[in-house]
Amino acid sequence: MAVKTITLEMDSTSRRARKAGRYFSEGWAHQKKREWRDAVTCYNCALDVDPVLFAALANRGMCWHQLGRPNEALADYERAFAIGTPELKNIIRVNRGVLLQSVRRYDEALADFAADNSHESRLNAAYIHLMRGEFWQGLELYRSRLPVTKWDARLHRLEDLRDKNVLILHEQGFGDSIMMARFILRISAVARSVHWTTRTALMPLLAANFPNVEFSDGGDVKAAALVYKSDAFVLVMDLWQTAGLEIAGQPYLHADPVHVETMQGVLPSGPKIGLSWRGRAEFVNDHNRSAALKDLAWRKYPGATFVSLQKDLRDDERPLVFDGGALINDFADSAALMSCLDAVISVDTATAHLAGALGIPTAVLLPYSADWRWGENGDATPWYDGVRLFRQPDFGAWGPAMAAAEDWIRSRI
C-alpha cells in the first residue's frame, strides 16, 4: 500500500514557529528511521506549541498507523484534512484511504482514492478491486504501477507471443515471481524462446524447474539491453493476464531430489514444522503482516521439531527452533528444506508462496486486512490447493488465527 509523506517548509521566523519546527524536525528524523514512538513524542511536542501544524498532524497519523493504533491515526488525519489546502487534502485522502483499507472499511477507502487521481490512489484502489475478485476494474488500475511506466510495458495476449523471442522482466518481490511462475509453461509452449531476468536467489530453483527457459540476473542495465534483443517483453505481474486469468492450484515446482536427501541427513528425526514469522522489515506494511516467534513456538505439537525458515534469527529466538535458515543460500535450498517438512506455518511472505507451489501443507497467517492475493474472505485460495488461510478476526489480533492454525496443523501430523 502506497502512502505519501509530509515534510515541513519553514515560512515563518516567529519564535513559536521555530520551536514547533524544531520538534517537527526531530520527529521527522525518528520517522525516517522507523522509530515510530519517538516520532510521536516529538510530534506531540510540536502540536503542544502549534495545535494546527498540518505536517505534524499528518505525520503523527502515519506513525499511529504503523504502531497499530488506527483510531488515533484517523483522528489525526481528520484534523489535518480540516485545515489543509486542496493539495494537502489530497495527500491526506491517500493516507486516510490506506488506513481505512487496513481496517477493512473498503468502500470508504475507495471513495478517498477516487477523489485523488495520483499514482498512489489508483494503485491502492487496484488492490481493493483485485482482492474482491473484481479483476477487470483492478487490473485496469494495476497498470498504474511504476514498472509499467518505467518500461512502457504493453499487455500481450498469448497468441501475440507465438514464435516470438520473449523476455520476461522481473518486478516486485520474490513471492510474486514464485506465484507467477506457474504461467511460464503456457508462454514457452507458444514462444520461440523465453528469457527471464529475475533475482539471483531465484535462478537455481526456476532454472531446474523450467529447463527450456533461460534465466539471468534482473539488473536494470542487462534487462534494458535484452529488451532491444527480444520480439516482445512481459512484466512478471502481467503473466497471468497474458496466459489467461484461469488459476490452477496444483503444485508446479519441485525440489532437486539429491538436494532433499542431503537436507534430510542434517535435520532432526521425527515430525518437523517449518516456521516463517517475519517478513522484510523494509516493506511498508511489514508491521501489519509479521508476527512474533514466541507466539508461535510455544504451541505444542507432540514430538515435532520447529524448523526456522528465516535467515535472520535473533539471539532470543535461537533456543526456540532448529536453525534451518543456516542451511539456506537461495530458494533452491529453501525448496529442498521445505520438502523435508511435514507442514509449514508462515505469515504472508515468499515462504508461503514457495510452500504452496511445492504442494506442502501450509497454514498462512494473514492480517485483518490481507494482501489482495489472498482475497477478502475464506480459508482457501485458488492459487495453492495445499494452503489454508487463517485470518486475524480484528486489527492486530494474532491469537485466534494462530490457535486455528494450530488445530489444522495438528490434524496433519
Return the number of other C-beta atoms located less than 10 Å from residue 263's C-beta.
21
pTM above 0.85, yes or no: yes
How do residues 108-143 score in pLDDT, each as one tens digit? 999 999 998 888 899 999 999 999 999 989 999 999
* pLDDT given at position 412: 81
* pLDDT given at position 225: 76
Element (H or E) spanning 97, and its range?
helix 86-102
* pLDDT given at position 245: 85
Whether 264 contacts 216, CB under 8 Å: no
Backbone angles phi, psi at 169, to 5 degrees: -105, 130
How do residues 279-295 score in pLDDT, each as one tens digit? 665 555 655 667 888 77
Amino acid identity, position 48: D
Task: Give the separation between CA 113 and CA 373, rounded to whole angstroms.
Answer: 20
* pLDDT given at position 2: 64
Task: Give the separation between CA 238 and CA 230, rounded to whole angstroms.
Answer: 17
Backbone angles phi, psi at 202, to 5 degrees: -90, -20
Identify which of 198, 189, 196, 192 has the alpha carbon closest to the alpha carbon of residue 231. 192
Whether 359 contacts 386, CB under 8 Å: yes
Backbone angles phi, psi at 304, to 5 degrees: -95, 150
Task: Give the separation between CA 317 and CA 202, rounded to whole angstroms.
Answer: 27
- List of the chain residues with pLDDT < 70: 1-13, 221, 279-289, 297-300
Q: DSSP letters of 326-366? A: GG-SSHHHHHHHHTT-SEEEEESSHHHHHHHHHT--EEEEE
* pLDDT given at position 395: 82
Retrieve residue 340's grid coordinates: 523435508
Task: Give the separation between CA 230 and CA 225, rounded to whole angstroms.
Answer: 9
How do residues 80-96 score in pLDDT, each as one tens digit? 999 999 989 999 999 99
* pLDDT given at position 312: 82
Mean pLDDT of the chain: 90
Distances (CA, A) of 342 to 74, 161, 219, 406: 43, 40, 36, 13
Task: Give the separation between CA 180 and CA 209, rounded to whole angstroms.
Answer: 13
Return the number of other C-beta atoms located less than 10 Å from residue 156's C-beta.
19
